[in-house]
Amino acid sequence: MITPWEISDIIDYKKTMENFGIKPINEIIKSIENPHHLMRRGIIFGHRDFERIVDAMKNKKKFAVVSGMMPSGRMHFGHKMIVDQLLYYQDYNAEIHIPIADLEAYSARGMDFETTKKLAVEEYITNYIALGLDPEKINVYLQSKYNKVKDLAFILSKRTNLSEMRAIYGFGGETNIGHLFAPLIQVADILHPQLEEDLKIRREIPVVVPVGIDQDPHIRLTRDIANRAKEYKFIPPSSTYHRFMTGLLGGKMSSSKPETAVFLTDDEKGVKKKIMSCKTGGRETLEEHKKLGGVPEECVVYELYAYHLIKDDKELLEIYETCKKGELTCGKCKKYCYEKIVEFLKDLHEKREVAKEIAHKIINL
């Protein structure tokens, strides 16, 4: 069972897609005028009803994006992937809603509200803005402070029951009621853009939720509830699914294990150390590497290029091919990688100073 609170290291994406009816993104990629590089490269690999959003983008119709966050530690490159997707939708003038899941953090992770709020503002929202999100165009809110969402969650809770919640999330008898209710808040986060503030007037606006596969239980529950709550005539939300980044040492990437991730606030020395000692697809010896070629498919450095550092497909392909042929050595390749990261982080660091002030104003710290 895949749940948002616990995810195994190894995910069989293909099997998960088959089990839960997620469609491959490559089946519709040709109909997307300007697909995101994460889509072109199969990193965003699946979707539900994304055709609706493609149509909105193509015909300049309104659509909304909802991307919740539950702050847990420092923000790293794995988290950045979601901001890259929001920036893509921002270019299409999408409405962007960013709920801070403080109610869920409280009930599921035992985090107090003040800690969650501070972390969300100073680490996440600050970086979101520094990365390019327009603070004037985003709706960032704390779940605990947004009555529209809380009221909608309560109303929609009537459309599910304990058996369904158990079947989707695997809740047991020991689960606290707050945790049990938290997914309903997420359902309301996702559906609220389709209603005006009074929850009475309907807005004709499709919504897309870009997520990792661990969040699919929320999407399934939301779509089911949207269909059941006939009085609202909700459009079931669309979703896209991206792969998780591999940790620098080969396992899971985690905020609580600094050696597994490059953080957006790492300094030059730290980045160099992490990249120079990360897992690559290089061979045991230089001689072997030159003879047999590397394995970029199993290389964390290559993943960093593909996900974040190289937007030009031709340049990425050249790295792939020269690695495969053994012409590109890991030493040279890692050096190029950390130089690119350092350059990127230096620029981000400068932008973060201004962004932090704005983030504080948005949430009123």
What is the binding site for ligand SF4 (CB under 6 A)? Answer: 280-282, 294, 296, 299, 301-302, 323, 328, 330, 333-334
| 46 vs 282, beta carbon nearer ligand SF4 | 282
Tell me the closest approach of the beta carbon of residue 266 to ligand SF4, in angstroms.
19
Q: Give the SS3 label for residue 138.
A: strand
Q: Which is nearer to ligand SF4, 4 or 282 (CB)?
A: 282
CA dihedral for 136, 39, 315, 281, sign (positive or negative) = positive
Rounded Cα gap, residues 290 and 108, in angstroms: 50
In the chain, the largest separation of any two C-alpha atoms, in whole Å, equals 70
Rounded least distance, CB 25 to ligand SF4, Å: 24
Residue 222, CB half-sphere, CA atoms under 13 Å: how many?
A: 29
Tokens of 268: 């030059």
DSSP E strands in the chain: the ranges are: 23-24, 44-48, 64-66, 95-100, 138-142, 207-212, 238-242
123 vs 303 by CB, closer to ligand SF4: 303
Shortest distance (Å) from residue 294 CB to ligand SF4: 3
Distance, in Å, from the CA atom of 221 to the CA atom of 319, rounded to the nearest integer, reads: 42
**Cβ at position 298, least distance to ligand SF4 in Å:** 8
Nearer to ligand SF4, 32 or 342 (CB): 342
Q: Token pair for residue 310?
A: 């190289």
For the sheet with 64-66, list strands across it. 23-24, 44-48, 238-242, 207-212, 64-66, 95-100, 138-142
Q: By C-beta, is 206 or 282 nearer to ligand SF4?
A: 282
- Indicate the residue among 228 and 324 with the shorter CB distance to ligand SF4: 324
> In angstroms, what is the minimal distance from the CB of 335 to ligand SF4?
10
The answer to whether the beta carbons of residues 143 and 102 sit under 8 Å apart is yes
Least distance from ligand SF4 to the Cβ atom of residue 256, Å: 26
